[in-house]
Amino acid sequence: MPATPLAETPMPVARPSRAEAEAAVRTLLAWAGDDPSREGLLDTPARVAKAYEEFFAGYRIDPVSVLERTFAETEGYDEIVLLKDIRLESYCEHHMVPIIGVAHVAYLPEHRVVGISKLARVVEAYAKRLQIQEKLTAQIANTIEAVLRPRGVAVIIESEHQCMTTRGVHQHGASMVTSRMLGAFRDDPNTRRELLALLGKG
């Protein structure tokens, strides 16, 4: 089976200066109806710019390089490797509000394994960008498949979208589930059932 192409990297754009970013926040504060010069808001533009550096740190992480250090000393281990309940914080690209949930990442090693923290790091690299959940799920799975070349990859994400809970239809408690199954997880029903059983969903 040919490797799935890696997720597209956003085209580089001219990054505004910190001062320009803070000025934009002041404009939004005024547009919202408040006074950016009042005491409680004086430092808000700087705080928001600093927070955005953390919220969108994924643009500065290369997910491929995260996965490139692998280990061959596995004593022939070729069963499912599953990292469950990876805390996920992302941001809706339509409204720029949080997407909060968990990701479950599994793969079937061919010859090599990767440190489990690297799987969580790949999730973080793609999550800390402006996203839709369907694309996020595919990006994580496609990158793991392309770099590790395992016999199968599965990514399941369960999350709550605050663009739906805090605005619009105001549906609190509704969660969205997406999955991407590649290789044996897509082609072999028994392997897929085993994964779902490990997740408590079988």
The reply to whether 36 and 76 lie within a common domain is: no
pLDDT, residue 175, reads 84
Is 75 an active-site residue?
no
- Which residues sit in the known binding site for Zn(2+)? 92, 95, 163
Tens of pLDDT, residues 48-101:
999 999 999 999 999 999 999 888 877 888 899 999 999 999 999 998 999 999
For 63-101, give the DSSP string. HHHHH--EE--STT--S-EEEEEEEEEEEETTT--EEEE
CATH code (residue 142): 3.30.1130.10
Is 162 an active-site residue?
no
> Which residues of the chain are modeled with pLDDT < 70?
1-12, 163, 165-171, 173, 202
Tokens of 59: 């643009």
Is 171 an active-site residue?
no
Query: Computed over its alpha carbons, how large is the radius of gyration of the chain?
Result: 20
pLDDT, residue 9, reads 57
- Which residues sit in the known binding site? 92, 95, 163
Is 104 an active-site residue?
no
CATH code (residue 41): 1.10.286.10
Spot the catalytic one: 20, 53, 94, 111. Answer: 94
3-state secondary structure of 105: strand
Full residue range of the structural domain in which residue 22 is found: 10-55
CA 192/CA 165 separation, integer angstroms: 32
pLDDT, residue 74, reads 79
The reply to whether 18 and 44 lie within a common domain is: yes
The reply to whether 32 and 98 lie within a common domain is: no
The reply to whether 75 and 30 lie within a common domain is: no
pLDDT, residue 79, reads 93
pLDDT, residue 72, reads 83
Spot the catalytic one: 158, 160, 162, 163. Answer: 163
| Residue 1 within any structural domain of the chain | no
Torsion of CA 64, 70, 76, 78, to 10 degrees: -30
| Residue 122 within any structural domain of the chain | yes
Is 163 an active-site residue?
yes
The reply to whether 34 and 83 lie within a common domain is: no
Give the residue from 154, 144, 139 showing the smallest Cα distance to 67. Answer: 144
Give the residue from 147, 143, 152 showing the smallest Cα distance to 189. Answer: 152
The reply to whether 154 and 79 lie within a common domain is: yes
| Residue 105 within any structural domain of the chain | yes
pLDDT, residue 201, reads 78
pLDDT, residue 1, reads 43
The reply to whether 36 and 119 lie within a common domain is: no
Number of structural domains, the chain? Answer: 2
CA 151/CA 78 separation, integer angstroms: 9
| Residue 158 within any structural domain of the chain | yes
Is 93 an active-site residue?
yes
The reply to whether 41 and 134 lie within a common domain is: no
Is 111 an active-site residue?
no
CA 144/CA 148 separation, integer angstroms: 6
CA 24/CA 45 separation, integer angstroms: 8
Q: What is the pTM of this model?
A: 0.88
Spot the catalytic one: 133, 139, 145, 194. Answer: 133
